[in-house]
Amino acid sequence: MNNYKTIGCMILAFLLVVTGCSNNAENTAQVDDKLISDPNKVFIGFLLDTLQEERWYKDKELFEGEVDKLGGRVKTLAANGLDDVQFKQAELLIEEGVDVLVVVPHDAEVSAAIVDLAHEAGVKVISYDRLIKNAQVDYYVSFDNVKVGELQAAEIVKNKSVGQFAYIGGAESDNNAVLFRQGAMNVLQPLIDNGDIRLVFDQYTDGWDPAIAEQNMVQALKANGNQIDAVVAANDGTAGGVINALSTVGLAGKIPVSGQDAELAGVQRVVEGTQTMTIYKSINQLAAQAAEMAVKVAKGEDIATDGAVNNGEVDVPSILLAPIAVTKDNVRETVIKDGYLKEEEVYKK
């Protein structure tokens, strides 16, 4: 049964192709052929881990739009959390003649094989938002993910600086989740060391699945007699799961909970008071930066970076953008002002 499911997902993922070239299949095929054969055009492959989370639709649309403005074309494929599908999609795009692969890896380690495959074909790889580990990645564009974790924990500590804390992380297979926790612990560890905080639960969340995050939070509550004073949750999805669990014991809105990604549901919870904060990472800025880099790489132009991040094998030339903490007090000045979310959506007008 699992084999049939995997095959079905692969077929679905292969069908999930977005070129930004045309609204009908016949014209798309014609334009793709022209792109591959025309050395004056750039053809970029965009490999997404998933389109099962709200934020990645925004990345897809923004990245494709930015590449289009720069005169390139994009084919986007989403693996929906399946490593074997993502590798097959990379093979497909390389066979079709992409100049560059921009990859949001599902598994930071497993995705190293995509880099090897691309380099064998002379195709460079840009790691988008999430870093591919232990591979000769050419470039990395993301946010300062250690800073994300620091902002999350700092905002929670502003609201509650003593007591029993729980950490509900992301997927350990995602290097960003490891960095978020590292940043959070930069803030929490001194308070743990002096006895102000007890970290009574510390668990990653498989697949960033909100349902698993909820189960983890239920476990944390049971193990501590519902005596949890604050929760650092790695993103808005895990925060949603945490808040569901807290609501069953009457604690939703009574203890601080962090989040990240500024998803609509997360920002709505922030203004309602059940979630303390989220992190706004300007996807407009990320997509624009990645698109500009991809087009320049495809053309063989020089790339200006602001540092390097070690991925276990090499120091990857990187551009790291600044994250912003969003609370009830600055929603209008951040996500709404930038046009990322609409005021009537956030405030349910």
Domain boundaries, given as residue ranges, for the chain: 2-137+282-321, 145-281+325-346
Distance, in Å, from the CA atom of 226 to the CA atom of 251, rounded to the nearest integer, reads: 9
Ordered alpha helix ranges (H), the chain: 2-15, 25-37, 54-69, 83-95, 112-120, 145-159, 175-193, 210-223, 236-247, 264-272, 283-299, 343-346
Q: One fold for both 2-137+282-321 and 145-281+325-346?
A: yes
Residue ranges in the chain modelled with pLDDT below 70 = 1-39
Residues 109-152 pLDDT 10s: 999 999 999 999 999 999 999 999 999 999 999 999 999 999 99
CATH fold label, 145-281+325-346: Rossmann fold (3.40.50)
What confidence score (pLDDT) does residue 138 get?
Answer: 98
What confidence score (pLDDT) does residue 39 get?
Answer: 66
What confidence score (pLDDT) does residue 250 get?
Answer: 97
Residues 186-208 pLDDT 10s: 999 999 999 999 999 999 999 99
What confidence score (pLDDT) does residue 327 get?
Answer: 98
Q: Which residue has the tokens 């679905």?
A: 12
Quote the Cα angle for 172-103-134, to 5°.
Answer: 55
What confidence score (pLDDT) does residue 58 get?
Answer: 87
Q: What's the maximum distance between 2 C-alpha atoms anywhere in the chain?
A: 66
CATH 3.40.50.2300 assigned to domain 2-137+282-321? The reply is: yes
What confidence score (pLDDT) does residue 37 get?
Answer: 52
